[in-house]
């Protein structure tokens, strides 16, 4: 895919609009499938954000180089950054097909509002880390 995090967030918001329409029209099965698709793409966006923002581009998948001069940016990461990343990745994975959940969990498909909040979490996380980097 190769998109930057901000581009992925924009694409997720567009996907969400389509999902909201399915939800409003009572197309439950179609909505659930679309919601799973969104969470798959959201997980990919978090993965990209971990390379691009949290690791400041020091290392990237499939790249033959390590940007050691960018390591100074990684030094100001906070424990909260990692905790939020882990929680978001865990939630996304729980919504994906192929990740069997215990029957006792029986979690409903997130509503469009909850999906929006999860997309907002990524955007806010990225904004907060970028702002911190600009101050240092």
Q: For the chain, give the number of residues.
A: 136
SS3 of 135, please?
helix
Model confidence pLDDT, tens digit, residues 8-32: 999 999 999 999 999 999 999 999 9
Model confidence pLDDT, tens digit, residues 44-88: 999 999 999 999 888 888 888 888 888 888 888 999 999 999 999
Q: Which phi and psi angles does 82 have, rounded to 5°?
A: -70, -40
Q: What angle do CA 106, 97, 89 make, to 5 degrees?
A: 85
Locus of tokens 């990919």? 44
- Note the pTM of the prediction, 2 decimals: 0.89
Residue 118 to residue 128: CA distance in whole angstroms: 15
Q: What is the pLDDT of residue 99?
A: 53
In this structure, the number of other CB atoms found within 10 A of the CB of residue 53 comes to: 25
The token duo for 42 is 């959201």
Helices 28-49 and 79-94: angle between axes, nearest 10 degrees: 150
Model confidence pLDDT, tens digit, residues 81-127: 999 999 999 999 988 876 555 554 567 899 999 999 999 999 999 99
């Amino acid at each position: 895919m190769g998109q930057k995090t901000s581009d992925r967030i924009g694409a997720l918001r567009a996907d969400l609009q389509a999902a909201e329409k399915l939800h409003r029209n009572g197309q439950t099965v179609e909505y659930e499938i679309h919601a799973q698709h969104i969470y798959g793409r959201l997980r990919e966006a978090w993965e990209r954000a971990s390379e691009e923002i949290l690791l400041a581009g020091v290392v990237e998948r499939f790249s033959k180089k390590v940007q050691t001069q960018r390591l100074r940016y990684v030094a100001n990461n906070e424990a909260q950054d990692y905790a939020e990343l882990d929680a978001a990745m865990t939630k996304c994975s729980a919504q994906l097909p192929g990740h069997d959940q215990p029957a006792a969990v029986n979690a409903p498909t997130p509503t469009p509002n909850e999906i929006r909040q999860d997309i907002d979490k990524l955007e806010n996380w990225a904004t907060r880390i970028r702002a911190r980097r600009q101050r240092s």
